[in-house]
Amino acid sequence: MITAITRQVSPSISKCELTHLDRQPIDLPTAIAQHHQYEHALRELGVEVISLPAEPDLPDSVFVEDTALVLDEIAILTRPGADSRKPEVTSIARTLSHYRELEAIQPPGTLDGGDILQTNRVIYVGISTRSNLSAIQQLQSYLKQFGYQVRGIQVKGCLHLKSAVTAVSEDTLLINPAWVDMLDFMDHKLIKIDPSEPYAANTVRIGDVLLYQPAFPKTAHRLEAAGFNLKMVDASELGKAEGALTCCSLVFNS
């Protein structure tokens, strides 16, 4: 069984943290509707969705991916790089404790889950404005016993590693080479996004289906031409809060 933890959109999302985007008005009803469609798409693919209530005082809390790394053996609670987001971890920890033993990143480490990309037994971690070397060292300490390798990756021009690269299969990555160095991922097959769609590298893989955004038709064509099965989910309103599809769920085997 695949489980996804989600959280409803906060009514204060317009006060979200922003690093690389200018602030735009966010239409709350549209954001909520898009999030419901996202959850529905997961359920249609057979995922058990645990939908947590909105956190009115935590504007970015819909982006639950940033609060934890969930592996088959253990869950690591993060320590988000933005101070306003650190309180988001508490309620996620309560939910995850029913599924996994928990460890946690400690100061001075900072880590957003959006900076973590797992491919088999390798954990790539973006070195970004939100995640630092101390957190990478702590992850190495926690995960070495389970046979994982942790590799730091420099990120430039975007918020998180998974803004620049995500997995579309066991051996293939979708990548924006403007934001990460392709040489860091030469163990994989690489599909480059269309350069006119810089945010197109983010997708959620559920089995052999990719959740993908209709805002990136040129890159979608590249994926389909490579044989991938896409299920379109519009998250454009959440994108104004610097969010993407992976941000909105914690997906794991239960």
The verdict on whether 16 is a catalytic residue reads no
Give the model's pLDDT for residue 173: 98
Arithmetic mean of pLDDT over the chain: 97
Q: Which CATH class is domain 2-253?
A: alpha beta
3-state helix vs strand vs coil in the chain, percent to 5: 30, 25, 45
Name the catalytic one among 16, 158, 247, 248.
247
Name the catalytic one among 16, 35, 158, 160.
160
Q: What is the pLDDT of residues 179-199, one digit of tens each?
A: 999 999 999 999 999 999 999
Give the model's pLDDT for residue 102: 98
Give the model's pLDDT for residue 174: 98
Give the model's pLDDT for residue 167: 98
- Asked whether the beta carbons of 168 and 205 are under 8 A apart, the reply is yes
Q: Which of 232, 246, 244 is nearest to 4 (CA)?
A: 246
Would you call 46 exposed, middle or buried from its count of C-beta atoms within 10 A (0-12, 13-18, 19+)?
exposed
Question: Given pLDDT bands bounded at 50, 70 and 90, which one contains residue 126?
Answer: very high
- The amino acid that residue 79 corresponds to is R
Residue length, the chain?
A: 254
* pTM of the shown model: 0.97
Q: Which of 81, 86, 90, 88 is nearest to 125 (CA)?
A: 81
Mean pLDDT within 80-104: 97
Range list of β-strands (E), the chain: 2-7, 48-52, 68-70, 75-77, 102-104, 116-119, 122-127, 149-154, 165-167, 172-175, 189-192, 204-206, 209-212, 229-232, 250-253
Q: What is the pLDDT of residues 227-247, one digit of tens each?
A: 999 999 999 999 999 999 999
